[in-house]
Amino acid sequence: MPYLLSFGQEQNIYRIIAHFWIPMVFYACIFYINYFVLIDRILFLKKTMQFILINIVIIALFIFLREQIEVKFFEELINKPDKADDDGPPFRMFVYIQMLFFMVPLLFSIAMKTTKRWVKTEAERKETINIKLKSELQHLHYQLQPHFFFNSLNNIYAMVDISPDQAKTSIHSLSKLMRYMLYETNDESIPLSKEIDFMKRYIDLMKLRVSDKTVVNYNFPTEETGVIIAPLLFISLIENAFKHGVSASKTSTIDITMTCEEKIVIFTIENDNFPKKTDDKSGSGIGIQNIEKRIELLYPNKNNFKTFVKDDRFVGHLEIDTN
């Protein structure tokens, strides 16, 4: 670079050493002293004035050393003109120009260090958000499991005296569902077909405890969709339907439909609405809240979830874009 920068001028090695290599050594010292020591230990600790004063002293020292080196070792070799014939800029202007040259590596080191620190901080921030997201999802997942088992065991308990054989069948079915929830749902996402199989098993389990007055209709995709989805997103709506959409004395219908078009999963469930009495404390009510929190964390801006009552029937509608 010194040879290229002095193209067209006299190629005197001593001149190049004096005008390029020696200043380059000082510029490198300014850069690395700041990059490895001063910026981290002083500037980033908000000691700005101390940082400025130290650099002024260092730059002044380097300017003085450079001038002394040129005077003592290169004055004759680089054909420096006599002071009497020197019509160049005054000494003060020389100092200003040298200060500007030394500011370049100083500012460059600050820019590089600040950028590196920002990149590191941004990476740490994203990692923190990611850890927090996983922790919250894990909490919601663990919250759902005992809620699911509690409801299922209550249903089986109600069958023990009425129909022991059905209770045995229900326990066997529940064990399969528990195996799925304990071992299959630890992954962040699973094939939709597995989730559909799980929902069918759960519906068949719940149908054992309802009377003939309750009709359950469901329609799921029969062919492999190739869709990958987060586990246990729909089960709370099905639980809710069997818990609040079934009456022991009145006829009731539960309709469940799922379609999948272009990786968009559409799940709709309708059931008769039998509101709980004010003194009924059964159920914690975490099912719907759990769905809302999980889909917002897992599919932000890629979901549409709503629940409403129409013609005395509760409707839950969930759309998820898995693309």
Per-residue pLDDT reduced to its tens digit, 286-297: 677 778 888 888
Residue 125 counted as domain residue: no
Q: Say yes or no: 303 and 194 in one domain.
A: yes
- 16's CB contacts (< 8 A; 6+ apart) are 2, 3, 6
Residues of the chain with pLDDT under 50: 82-85, 281-284
Last residue of a domain, one of 32, 58, 88: 88
- Tell me, rounded to whole angstroms, the distance of Cα 213 from its chain centroid: 48
Q: Are 81 and 143 members of one domain? A: no
> Are 141 and 79 in the same domain?
no
Give yes or no: residues 145 and 269 share one domain. Answer: yes
* β-pair partners for 313: 272, 310
In this structure, the answer to whether residues 47 and 156 fall within a common structural domain is no
User: Which pLDDT value is given to residue 285?
Assistant: 54
The predicted structure's pLDDT at residue 113: 92
Please check whether residue 248 lies inside any domain of the structure: yes
Residues 238 and 167 in one domain: yes
**Of 88, 119, 149, which one is at a domain's C-terminal end?**
88
Residue pair 66/22 in contact (Cβ under 8 Å)? The answer is yes
Give the span between the Cα atoms of 249 and 288, in whole angstroms: 26
Q: What pLDDT shows up at residue 138? A: 65
CA nearest 195: which of 252, 122, 246, 265?
265
- Cβ atoms of 100 and 26 closer than 8 Å: no
How many domains would you assign to the chain? 2
Residue range 209-266, pLDDT digits in tens: 777 888 999 999 988 888 999 888 888 888 888 888 888 788 899 999 999 988 899 9
Question: 274 with 244: CB under 8 angstroms?
Answer: yes
Q: What is the model's pLDDT at position 262? A: 87
Write the burial class of residue 244 (CB in 10 Å: 0-12 exposed, 13-18 middle, 19+ buried).
Answer: middle
264-272 vs 303-310, strand pairing mode = unpaired
Predicted pLDDT of residue 284:
47
Asked whether residue 99 is domain-assigned, the answer is no
Residue 257's domain is classified under what CATH number?
Answer: 3.30.565.10
Whether 159 and 50 share a structural domain: no
Domain boundary (88, 120, 143) is at 88
118: in domain: no
Whether 214 maps to a domain, the answer reads yes
The answer to whether residue 250 sits within a structural domain is: yes
- Is residue 124 in a domain? no
Q: Are residues 250 and 157 part of one domain?
A: yes
Listed residue (53, 31, 28, 32) closest to 42, CA to CA: 53
In the prediction, which pLDDT does 135 show?
Answer: 67
Task: Answer yes or no: do 195 and 288 share one domain.
Answer: yes
pLDDT at 173: 78
Please give the pLDDT value at position 288.
79
Check residue 34 and give its pLDDT: 93
User: 195 lies in a domain?
Assistant: yes
Range of the domain at 48: 2-88
The count of other CB atoms within 10 Å of the CB of residue 28 is 11
What's this model's pTM, rounded to 2 decimal places?
0.57
